[in-house]
Amino acid sequence: MKIALAQINPTIGAFEETRQMIREHCQRARGKGCELVIFPELAITGYPPRDLLERRDFIQQAARSLSILVDEIRGIGVLVGTVTENHSGVGKPLYNSAVLFEDGDILATFHKQLLPTYDVFDEARYFRPGPVSEPVYFHGKRLGVTICEDIWNEPALCPHCESYDRDPVEDLFKKGADILVNISSSPFSLGKLELRQNILSGIADRYNAPVIYCNSVGGQDCLVFDGASLCMAPGEKIIARAGQFCQDQVLVDIDARTGQVRQGPVCHEEQVVSALVLALKDYTRRCSIKKVTLGLSGGIDSSLTAVLAVKAMGKENVLGVLMPSAYTSRESLEDAQALAKNLGIRTVTLSIVPVFDAYLDVLSGVFEGLPMDVTEENIQARIRGNLLMAISNKLGHMVLSTGNKSELAVGYCTLYGDMSGGYAFISDLPKTLVYKVARFVNQKEGFIPERVFEKPPSAELRPGQTDQDDLPPYEVLDPILEYYMEQRLSPLEIVEMGFDEETVRRVVSMVDRNEYKRLQAPLGPKITVKAFCCGRRYPVAHAYRPI
């Protein structure tokens, strides 16, 4: 049997557009002699629809889309993810479902059994867990159909996942499944590609059967879906693989154990570039945003943001704003100008000196007798944020904030200042990763001046300032942040790994007391295992102090 994996990029709620996408993939697969085409989880609605699932009209439109496709598509079987209603009167009103249909008839409907409620997932809010399912006989094969989390039940591989009291995969093979099919909308994070492949390979080996995995692709708010759909055979053999971070359709012949295999996994730096570019492309397209604006400081963060923005939007749609102060170095201005010239983007220069002087004059009575401190530094950052937002309002551009994850983690950022914007483009990249990704990009294109990599990072808000005046070196800070926030280790456990206790406790304190800032930050794409914008849910007001 020949099967097509249709790795599509649906927009949430764009029912007509998605139907046309599905039709085109079915026609293409049918023309290549396929008997079945498989689409991702919740392909008809888009993923994750969140509280749109509480709207009756949204559910009705999803049902109508499925009905239209069932009536229209002929000559090929279709397995597609959608929402179906729970009419039992018990539990949540919806199921997360996969529907198999052919030539006008619905052959089987499968419901997701394991509903994730960790990290970015909150599916128990909307769905009822499905009952144990049965394999379905289709064109001589017994297909065992699962949906995303149904295969994420390997405690050794998924220590941060939930523990479940059932195993849908084992149930299906006990009931005679020949092939396991999994339709997914599995968000990207660094290391996820390898983890998925290990899970799929383990299932194929354990049950001595092929495993078909079809994943969504595209950017949706904070989430990025990387595709990389697969068909695995026992012995860690990949017999079909779709591209990563792109819409694709690949074919697999289950009987011959052959298929189309796209380029394999690339290095993490290239994955980050692809993920961020796709995230910004889709976010701006889906929100009807045509142009973006960002502040260019001459530092590594704004330089990388500008390079990736040009990749996503095109140089004609990116405006760089230079906002020098009395503390801005000549080198920073030169580097920002050189970057803009290399990229071919338009720039404007707006000095903040007269605005800053006006602020100090207006506040002089209130501030009389008090020394200059971080207050005056924050005023400069807020002036810059206000200028960028004024340009956004007047020209209709979206502001890209340029802060990195390390700064956000410890609060080394200014509310209503450098945190201003509509999209926090690199907010899930630790500073050390920013340098790695920027170096990777520069190896090919050389847009970023070499001096940007060499000079100490600085906000340039006071004379001679560098980041390391206020923070540990990033080579020390970033591992501590990872151990505390992503691996959930206690300060004592981190100290036992060899880190200085005073430094660890200072960093942890900074993380905990700056939750209020992060809750007011713009959303940005998730790249690491634990992102602030959508995966971390900590209270702002609490008295807990980690040991």
Residue with tokens 């206000």: 386
Judge whether 280 and 312 are in contact, CB under 8 Å: yes
Which is the catalytic residue, given 34, 148, 413, 534? 148
CA distances, 136 to each of 139, 144, 182, 305 (Å): 10, 7, 14, 49
Active site residue 148: yes
Which is the catalytic residue, given 2, 26, 41, 231? 41
Structure tokens at 192: 């996820």
Q: Name all contacts of 514-520 with Cβ < 8 Å and 24+ positions apart.
A: 514/408, 514/409, 514/410, 514/411, 515/539, 515/540, 516/540, 517/408, 517/411, 517/413, 517/415, 517/419, 518/408, 520/415, 520/419
Coil, strand or helix at 28: helix
| 238 sits in which H/E element | strand 237-241
Active site residue 41: yes
Residue with tokens 């906002």: 323
Q: For 474-494, give the secondary structure using H, E and C.
A: HHHHHHHHHHHHHCCCCHHHH
Q: Which of 99, 95, 98, 74 is nearest to 86 (CA)?
A: 95
Q: What is the CA radius of gyration of the chain?
A: 26
Which is the catalytic residue, given 2, 112, 141, 530? 112
CA distances, 75 to each of 70, 104, 256, 412 (Å): 11, 10, 22, 59
CA gap 5, 242 in Å, rounded = 8
Q: CB-based contacts of 207: which residues, under 8 Å, 6+ apart?
A: 169, 173, 177, 180
Known catalytic residues are 41, 112, 148
